[in-house]
Structure 1
Amino acid sequence: MTDTDSRYEAVRSRDARFDGVFFFAVETTGIYCRPSCPAVTPKRHNVRFFATAAAAQGSGFRACRRCRPDAVPGSAEWNVRADVVGRAMRMIADGVVDREGVAGLAARLGYSTRQVQRQLTGELGAGPVALARAQRAHAARVLLQTTGLPVTQIAFAAGFASVRQFNDTMRAVYAATPSELRAAAPRSGRTARRTPTPTAGIPLRLAHRGPYRPGPVFDLLAHEAVPGVEDVSGPPGARTYRRTLRLPYGTGIAAVDERTGTARTTTGAHPGGWLDARVHLTDPRDLTTAVQRLRRLFDLDADPYAVDERLGADPRLAPLIAARPGLRSPGAADPDELAVRALAGRDEAARLVQRYGKRLDAPCGSLTHLFPEPGVLAEAEPDSTLGALAAALADGTVRLGPGADRDEAREALAAVPGLDERTIAVIRTRALGDPDVAPPGPDVPDSWRPWRSYALNHLRAAGELEYP
């Protein structure tokens, strides 16, 4: 989808597969849309294409109120790519620019602010400030139209530095004030809207593109759940996963339901759906970060069409793909925690939580602790592989965050004494979100690239391969 003619054909056919992959704007109306927008297709000479919503906004276009282009899942490209642009996009989504500014983003990437600005603008049509601004605006609109939170609280929860900045941005992006946006919420949103309570948290819909198979993901989370930090309740098909979160400004408790809300078009296409979630935070400024970490855990920005098309061409995988279209490769809500758990195993992780984990100020049912930080584990368990890994995580020798360089991380993990290749493969797949990991042992052909992590998940879901 690099040439404009192909993109226009996707717009003409209202192809939901490309929602979030690119955006189009109509010069005669001043509005930008997602490819699947149901409005009348504009004439080709009036259409402009953009790689990001931020680029469209920067060119003076406002978001379509009918198709809500700002609400589409993020482009799967940013999770797949390991270059500086992909790493930058993952960190911006995690809220790094909101917390540390462009200088902080550049320092994490190892580039100057000018280099980062040049690369992002050159490829995406928008710099880091504009990209973060678009993300804040979307988060604020969703909160305005789906919750009863006070406007001031929404401004800071979405990442704005001031209410004035919030008001100015919302008018620029949506051509409406926050109050007008709230009043324009769809009837279903107005009916469901309420002020979140401490027990209910902030209600969210975590969008995904294409089909989504929640069962295997919840099976894995239930199998791995560490008491005190996580729990999975309810019958299969209607389970709820809950966990504690350590966040930049405070702590949180998140709950995600297995049930999905999906929609199908009149042509039988599967544009996507969402997972219902609730997030309770001690500091509302952590909302964007919490949402992105849940998205990575449930692999909600993946492109199931690309994955299934490539893997479905393999005779061995074809029946598995047909049986489970949209199967995801789960990530991690906390990469450092996942690395320790991959090495320690569930039972040992539970011991570490009870012995070294920080107890929540306000426990919620069985959720009582945060997983212990690497620095704590490095001091408590110094004479072991676990201690060596924890020390490497604590001092930054091993970096697994959203902007980590995957090649450097792999080399750093290999240098940890006693860390075997199988554990490193799990960490790369889950903590780093690498879609193309082949652990030692099983026969993994090169024809499965660049989706070998997904191929192995299909084999596990079919019972042909054990979970690590």
Structure 2
Amino acid sequence: MNDEDTRHEDTRYEAVRSRDARFDGEFFFAVRTTGIYCRPSCPAVTPKRRNVRFYATAAAAQGSGFRACRRCRPDAVPGSAAWNVRADVVGRAMRLIGDGVVDREGVGGLAARLGYSARQVQRQLTEEVGAGPVALARAQRAHTARILLQTTELPVTQIAFAAGFASVRQFNDTIRTVYASTPSQLRAAAPRTGPVARSAATPAAGVPLRLAHRGPYRSTAVFDLLAAEAVPGVEAVAGSRGRRTYRRTLRLPYGTGIVAVEERQGTAAVRHRAGGAGRTAGAPGPGGAAHPGGWLDARLHLTDLRDLTTAVQRLRRLFDLDADPHAVDERLGADARLGPLVAARPGLRSPGAADPDELAVRALVGEAEAGRLVLRYGKRLDAECETLTHLFPEAAVLAEAEPGGPLGALTAALADGVLRLDPGADREEARAVLLALPGMDEGTAAVIRTRALGDPDVAPPGVDAPDTWRPWRSYAVGHLRAAGEL
């Protein structure tokens, strides 16, 4: 280990010593003498430096033989913000794995989407994050299984396949390896009350979740945007400001879903729990606008539980829950123009999209026209839920139904795969394809890149965005808009 690596690990150890939750999900540490791995904010006694090992991912720690800490639940932390910032093959691969591509299409499917060989993808991921795609997907399946075990009464066999395991034996072996418990023991350790209490043994009962985030979270701004953009039949926002519920329909790989996400969490002190992560949460800011770290409460109703992992990741992108607000605010807060805006709104997020193709269509045609498309071409739900009645129409359906003009060009490009907006898409390539479409302007392309592709570093035309705002120009634009300067 060279001097730079030593200093890097010393910095990480100081984060562990101070139980700094800002680094939860950015790295993990394992203790050689106990055989467990933890998040940096774990409340347990700080181990001696010589006994600590550091890992970029939970999968890497598991691959080295360490099991998850039962006290801090390291698998429930927000994802690393680095994967959303990075546009290289590793960042794209991590986003695709999070979306469940390895479970659905295997390593070969992942590699094909990235335009590399399976061997190249394996090598690059192992070098960068300490684990290959199979190990990363396995860690994700284990986390999904734990959520289902501890929040539902579904039979263990059903949970095994819903989480993406190929067999019950593989499921049992993985749970024992990762958690040092049998599935039955893991279920017995679940809390019996509160938001993560177990629900009935049917998908229709829904899966309660805590969608973890790090640092402050300006929930009011996010829910204001979602309320302003809501397309009838697909989305709805109800409740008073500060205590609203956002609900929407989801088209997923195996079926459909309906999700409800609460704007505001409770203010009482909490422990790390089954469905998500959170430090002790103090009183929220004005109007429930910001939290020092914690989660958003949600409930997912899925027609096929195999979609749980994918649905959760899409919600995380929509609500920008894997962002690192400390890094964003530190960079932008140092700017003379942005400093006062950041101080007024710490933790302001850059919302993404639950369905990138849908977002692209809506950005092009606007909310009113999107509502017309839903009523005319959207698929009606088999079981409607109050005002939620439809799925947003697929690109292929729109391309065939209305082939002319800018909408037809956009949806044809999406349907044919000429334009890719999935989590593994090449952002620069997608921008070039967008701008080549008839009727597509720079401003609309910037919105699609920011929201559908989750690019944190987009400045729309006409905005003077200096390089000192990089790589967080999307957040800078959000602050300018919130302050009424755009």
Q: TM-score, normalized by length of structure 2?
A: 0.92
Asked if residue 62 in structure 1 is aligned to residue 73 in structure 2, the reply is no
Aligned 8 A contact 1:145 1:190 in 2: no
Q: In 1, distance between residues paired with 2:194 and 2:180?
A: 20
Q: In 2, distance between residues paired with 1:26 and 1:4?
A: 14
Q: In 1, distance between residues paired with 2:280 and 2:368?
A: 45
Change (3 A) 1:360 1:38: same
Q: In 1, distance between residues paired with 2:463 and 2:115?
A: 36
Aligned 8 A contact 1:146 1:189 in 2: no
Q: In 2, distance between residues paired with 1:284 and 1:186?
A: 21
Q: In 1, distance between residues paired with 2:263 and 2:47?
A: 38
Q: In 2, distance between residues paired with 1:464 and 1:199?
A: 45
Instruction: Please point out which of 246, 256, 264 is paired with 2:261.
Output: 256
Asked if residue 240 in structure 1 is aligned to residue 245 in structure 2, the reply is yes
Asked if residue 206 in structure 1 is aligned to residue 211 in structure 2, the reply is yes
Asked if residue 460 in structure 1 is aligned to residue 481 in structure 2, the reply is yes
Find the counterpart in structure 2 of residue 79 from structure 1.
84
Instruction: Please point out which of 452, 459, 462 is paired with 1:431.
Output: 452
Q: Which amino acid letter does the alignment assign opposite residue 167 of structure 1? A: N
Change (3 A) 1:151 1:430: same
Find the counterpart in structure 2 of residue 103 from structure 1.
108
Q: In 2, distance between residues paired with 1:243 and 1:190?
A: 20
Find the counterpart in structure 2 of residue 365 from structure 1.
386
Q: Which amino acid letter does the alignment assign opposite residue 172 of structure 2? A: N
Q: How does 1:191-202 map onto structure 2 within 5 Å?
A: 192-195=197-200, 200-202=205-207
Q: In 1, distance between residues paired with 2:237 and 2:195?
A: 30
Secondary structure of 2:236's aligned partner: strand
Change (3 A) 1:177 1:189: farther
1:185 Cα deviation from its structure 2 partner: 2.0
Q: In 1, distance between residues paired with 2:183 and 2:202?
A: 22
Q: Which amino acid letter does the alignment assign opposite residue 233 of structure 2? A: G
1:152 Cα deviation from its structure 2 partner: 2.2
1:148 Cα deviation from its structure 2 partner: 2.4
Asked if residue 354 in structure 1 is aligned to residue 360 in structure 2, the reply is no
1:38 Cα deviation from its structure 2 partner: 1.1
Find the counterpart in structure 2 of residue 11 from structure 1.
16
Q: In 1, distance between residues paired with 2:132 and 2:356?
A: 27
Find the counterpart in structure 2 of residue 275 from structure 1.
296
- What is the number of residues matched between the two proteins? 464
Secondary structure of 1:205's aligned partner: strand
Q: How does 1:318-397 map onto structure 2 within 5 Å?
A: 318-397=339-418
Find the counterpart in structure 2 of residue 163 from structure 1.
168
Aligned 8 A contact 2:282 2:292 in 1: no
Aligned 8 A contact 1:17 1:271 in 2: no
- Mark the runs of 5 or more structure 1 residues left unpaired by the alignment: none
Secondary structure of 1:354's aligned partner: helix
- Mark the runs of 5 or more structure 2 residues left unpaired by the alignment: 270-278, 284-290
Q: In 2, distance between residues paired with 1:86 and 1:171?
A: 29
1:256 Cα deviation from its structure 2 partner: 0.6
Q: In 1, distance between residues paired with 2:113 and 2:475?
A: 29
Q: Which amino acid letter does the alignment assign opposite residue 244 of structure 1? A: T
* CA RMSD between the two structures: 1.8
Find the counterpart in structure 2 of residue 120 from structure 1.
125
Secondary structure of 1:228's aligned partner: coil
Find the counterpart in structure 1 of residue 190 from structure 2.
185
Change (3 A) 1:173 1:198: closer
Instruction: Please point out which of 276, 285, 303 is paired with 2:324.
Output: 303
Change (3 A) 1:285 1:321: same
Change (3 A) 1:189 1:175: farther
1:44 Cα deviation from its structure 2 partner: 0.9
Aligned 8 A contact 2:196 2:208 in 1: no
Q: In 1, distance between residues paired with 2:387 and 2:459?
A: 36
Find the counterpart in structure 2 of residue 285 from structure 1.
306
Q: In 2, distance between residues paired with 1:242 and 1:338?
A: 16
Aligned 8 A contact 2:319 2:351 in 1: yes
Asked if residue 137 in structure 1 is aligned to residue 142 in structure 2, the reply is yes
Q: Which moved more, 1:158-167 or 1:402-411?
A: 158-167
Aligned 8 A contact 1:196 1:202 in 2: no
Cα deviation digits, residues 40-85 of structure 1 (max 9, x gap):
1111111111000000000000011111111100000001100000
Q: In 1, distance between residues paired with 2:66 and 2:461?
A: 50
Change (3 A) 1:154 1:351: same
1:265 Cα deviation from its structure 2 partner: 5.4
Asked if residue 225 in structure 1 is aligned to residue 237 in structure 2, the reply is no
Asked if residue 33 in structure 1 is aligned to residue 38 in structure 2, the reply is yes
Q: In 1, distance between residues paired with 2:58 and 2:153?
A: 26
Cα deviation digits, residues 129-178 of structure 1 (max 9, x gap):
00000011111112222232222222222221222211110001111101
Cα deviation digits, residues 83-105 of structure 1 (max 9, x gap):
00000000000000000110110
1:190 Cα deviation from its structure 2 partner: 9.9
Find the counterpart in structure 1 of residue 275 from structure 2.
none
1:198 Cα deviation from its structure 2 partner: 6.2
Aligned 8 A contact 1:159 1:288 in 2: no
Find the counterpart in structure 2 of residue 449 from structure 1.
470
Q: Which amino acid letter does the alignment assign opposite residue 430 of structure 2? A: A
Secondary structure of 2:265's aligned partner: strand
Instruction: Please point out which of 18, 42, 47 is paired with 2:52.
Output: 47
Secondary structure of 2:237's aligned partner: strand
1:261 Cα deviation from its structure 2 partner: 4.5
Cα deviation digits, residues 202-260 of structure 1 (max 9, x gap):
11111111111110111001111001111111110111111111110111111111012
1:308 Cα deviation from its structure 2 partner: 0.5
Q: Which moved more, 1:61-70 or 1:258-267?
A: 258-267
1:459 Cα deviation from its structure 2 partner: 1.6
Aligned 8 A contact 1:120 1:126 in 2: yes
Q: In 2, distance between residues paired with 1:266 and 1:234?
A: 23
